[in-house]
């Protein structure tokens, strides 16, 4: 079964609204989680590193005020897309390393469509 | 910066063998992951190489040469369900991954 779970799998929202995506590690604690974005037929692009108990680290070109990340507990990180626009429509995926770090698990992904 | 290169597409026949090459140039390197991704789904873990050499897991094997900045994923006894995108990813810092663009493998009957 899944070791990293994302919710929701699909979400449609109106332009200008905010959407929250949750990423949970199941049966293990993840002090660090990662958020990726993937556009159709493209590879995964790292957006930010989510750190439990501290601020997220954003990759160059990613607006931290638009993509709010909160790592509230050792098993939950959330990504909030604020003031969403159609160009934010994408596949958002989170990942978390296992305790040893030899395996990095991905969540099921969340499809966001902004209309 | 990070540079991960892999072929865009490969086609093979059911039952055959296909080798997907990946070359990388990264600032920092802690290992090489291979993931399989079916259209519209999240990536699933296939292999992780840290040391040089070949690691075999059933029909899939992965090879790494750190000195050459090179890895390959070998898929044997291809099945139709193996049609997917295969992602090469370098672990560049702690658990941060830098992905290649992915290789779309099409298996034909």
Residue A103 forms contact with B (CB below 8 Å): yes
Q: Is A60 exposed, middle or buried (0-12, 13-18, 19+ CB in 10 A)?
A: exposed
Average pLDDT over residues B77-86: 97
End-to-end CA distance of chain A: 33
- At B52-62, the pLDDT tens digits run 999 999 999 99
The fraction of chain B above a pLDDT of 90, given in percent, is: 80
Kindly give the pairing relationship between strand B53-57 and strand B3-5.
unpaired
Distance from CA of A76 to the nearest CA of B (A): 17
Q: What is the pLDDT along chain A (115 residues), one digit of tens a residue?
A: 568 999 999 999 999 999 999 999 998 888 899 999 999 888 899 999 999 888 999 999 999 999 999 998 999 999 999 999 999 999 999 999 887 767 888 999 999 999 9
Average pLDDT over residues B25-42: 91
Distance from CA of A68 to the nearest CA of B (A): 19
The fraction of chain B above a pLDDT of 70, given in percent, is: 100
Residues facing residue A32 across a β-bridge:
A51
pLDDT at A69: 95
pLDDT at A104: 87
Sign of CA dihedral A100, A30, A109, B103: negative
pLDDT at A42: 85
Give backbone dihedrals phi and psi of A113, rounded to 5 degrees, phi first.
-120, 125
Segment (H or E) for B13: strand B9-13
Neighbours of A101 (CB within 10 A): 14
B-facing residues of A in 39-98 (CB < 8 A) are 42-46, 49, 91, 93, 95, 97
8-state DSSP, B80: G
State the Cα–Cα distance between residues B33 and B37, nearest whole angstrom.
Answer: 13
Residue B102 forms contact with A (CB below 8 Å): yes
pLDDT at A2: 63
User: How many CB pairs below 8 Å do chains A and B form together?
Assistant: 49
pLDDT at B96: 85
């Amino acid at each position: 079964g899944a070791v990293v779970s994302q919710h929701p799998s699909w979400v449609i929202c109106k332009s200008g609204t905010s959407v929250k995506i949750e990423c949970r590690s199941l049966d293990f604690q993840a002090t660090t989680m990662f958020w990726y974005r993937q556009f159709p037929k493209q590879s995964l692009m790292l957006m930010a590193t989510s750190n439990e108990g501290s601020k997220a680290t954003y990759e160059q070109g990613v607006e931290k005020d638009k993509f709010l990340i909160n790592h509230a507990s050792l098993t939950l990180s959330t990504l909030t897309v604020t003031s969403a626009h159609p160009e934010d429509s994408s596949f958002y995926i989170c990942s978390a390393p296992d305790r040893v770090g030899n395996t990095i698990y991905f969540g099921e992904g969340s499809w966001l469509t902004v209309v | 910066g990070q540079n991960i290169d892999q072929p865009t597409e490969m086609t093979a026949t059911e039952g055959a063998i296909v080798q997907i090459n990946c070359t990388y140039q990264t600032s920092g390197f802690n290992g090489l992951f291979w993931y399989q991704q079916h259209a519209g789904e999240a990536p699933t873990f296939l292999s992780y190489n840290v040391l040089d050499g070949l690691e075999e897991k059933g029909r899939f094997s992965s090879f790494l040469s750190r000195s050459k900045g090179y890895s390959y994923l070998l898929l044997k006894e291809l099945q139709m369900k193996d049609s997917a995108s295969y992602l090469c990813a370098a672990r560049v810092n702690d658990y941060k991954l830098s992905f290649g663009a992915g290789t779309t493998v099409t298996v034909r009957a």
